[in-house]
Amino acid sequence: MKISRKEAKESKYWLRLIKATNEDFLVEIEKLIIEAEELRQILSAIINKVQ
């Protein structure tokens, strides 16, 4: 779970970089950034509940 959470955080990072350098798909990229953050929060909640 911790690895998955880290991967979601890294995905969000790369999506933000893409967004900053590519203005063609801003809406789609923003949706993916939000989804990556939601996934990270879900994984964090699971990790906190298990510990």
pLDDT at 51 over 90: no
Domain borders along the chain are 2-50
* SS3 of residue 26 by DSSP: helix
Residue pLDDT, tens place only, 30-47: 999 999 999 999 999 999
Q: How many CB atoms lie within 10 A of CB 7?
A: 14
Read off the pTM. 0.89
For the chain, the distance separating the N- and C-terminal CA atoms, rounded to the nearest angstrom, is: 12
Kindly give, in sequence order, each residue whose CB lies less than 8 Å from that of residue 1, ignoring residues fewer than 6 positions away: 43, 46, 47, 50
